[in-house]
Amino acid sequence: MRSLIAGTGSYAPEKVVTNADLEKLVDTSDQWIVERTGIRERHVVADDQATSDLALEASRRALDAAGVDPKDVEMIVVGTVTPDYPFPSVGAVLQGKLGNKKAFAFDVSAACAGSLYALSVADRFVASGAVKNALVVGADALTRITDWTDRNTCILFGDGAGAMVLKPTDDARRGIVSTRLHTDGSLVPILLQPGGGSRDPISEKVVREKSHYVKMNGREVFKVAVRSLEESCREVLADEKLTPGDVTWVIAHQANKRILDATLSRLEIPESKCWMNLEKYGNTSAASVPMTLDEANRAGWLKPGDTVLMMAIGGGMAWGASVVRW
């Protein structure tokens, strides 16, 4: 038995911040941002919105598409690094908001790879028959931990949520066929939120030093991202005796157009096979993969039996790739 992605949904908050808006905040330009990243605008949470609010909208849409009543969900896994509260989990908050009492719910912390990690965990439960369905969400409000005076980071991030509903299938031609996940903890320093955790709890000093915001060595992240994404894609394809030429569609974490272009070029997969939306949303962290999947799905791109290659990388560094027969 395998698990099948039976429904997808996504949500981006209404407020839009354009590159022109950022020109007023930091020393940057629309031209620089577009050339270096491909991003033109991003959606940003309203003052009264938190990650679970984004997750709820995306989840409702995915459950509706899958024909699953929110009360019948048996497992909820949320990939996020910007929970509503340090604890409990967004999963727990989301379960409450869905009016569900049946599901066990928790979060997975793997930054921008969070939804791929969450998908992999839920896949094991569904494919083993332990649960009859699972709601997998990637949701982040990264702009809440973004320093709007740091031009190295504030141009990149946006907020959003994406959701996938997994159900079991006996159809050997369909479902999640293989996933490979990796972590390299020696790379923690190149992308992290240093303050506000148990190492340096929130304090006047943390706020003064702005260490509760995302810190990133962009050049290092870029290099690691291209190398790691290529390797994990090749590995997961080899698991199924596939080559990049067998891939029908690519659903990739939307970090930076240049990272994706370089990765696709190394894999010799044409850009036309990769759904791109970072122009509109920027890097939405764990939301990125399921938001992208939902857009491609609703646009009618994905047909039963298509080979979909999914890939993501984020702070940790944590990364991975999946092959899904749609």
Ligand X SMILES: CC(C)(COP(=O)(O)OP(=O)(O)OC[C@H]1O[C@@H](n2cnc3c(N)ncnc32)[C@H](O)[C@@H]1OP(=O)(O)O)[C@@H](O)C(=O)NCCC(=O)NCCS
- Catalytic residues, by residue number, are 112, 253, 283
CB of 150 to ligand X, least distance (A): 9
Contact stretch for ligand X (CB under 6 A) within 74-82, 129-137, 152-160, 174-182:
152-160
Residue from 16, 23, 34, 36 touching ligand X (CB under 6 A): that is 36
Element (H, E) at 271: none
**SS3 string of 76-140?**
EEEECCCCCCCCCCHHHHHHHHCCCCCCEEEEECCHHHHHHHHHHHHHHHHHCCCCCCEEEEEEE
Contact stretch for ligand X (CB under 6 A) within 81-89, 117-125, 254-262, 300-308:
254-262
- Contact call for residue 218 and ligand X (CB under 6 A): yes
- Contact call for residue 219 and ligand X (CB under 6 A): yes
Binding flags for ligand X, 51-90, as an x/- string (CB under 6 A): ----------------------------------------
Contact stretch for ligand X (CB under 6 A) within 13-21, 77-85, 163-171, 214-222:
214-222
Instruction: Retrieve residue 319's tokens.
Output: 């990364």
CB of 285 to ligand X, least distance (A): 7
- Contact call for residue 301 and ligand X (CB under 6 A): no
Residue type at position 214: V
- Contact call for residue 182 and ligand X (CB under 6 A): no
Instruction: Retrieve residue 299's tokens.
Output: 């646009």
What would the DSSP string read from start to end of 9-25? EEE--SEEEEHHHHHTT
Residue from 23, 30, 40, 152 touching ligand X (CB under 6 A): that is 152
- Alpha carbons 319 and 302: distance in angstroms, whole number: 24
Cα 230 vs. chain centroid, distance in angstroms? 18
Residue from 15, 16, 25, 32 touching ligand X (CB under 6 A): that is 32
- Alpha carbons 297 and 326: distance in angstroms, whole number: 10
Instruction: Retrieve residue 298's tokens.
Output: 């609703």
User: Which residues bind to ligand X, rule: CB under 6 A?
Assistant: 28, 32, 36-37, 112, 151-152, 155-156, 216, 218-219, 221-222, 225, 255-256, 259, 283, 313-314
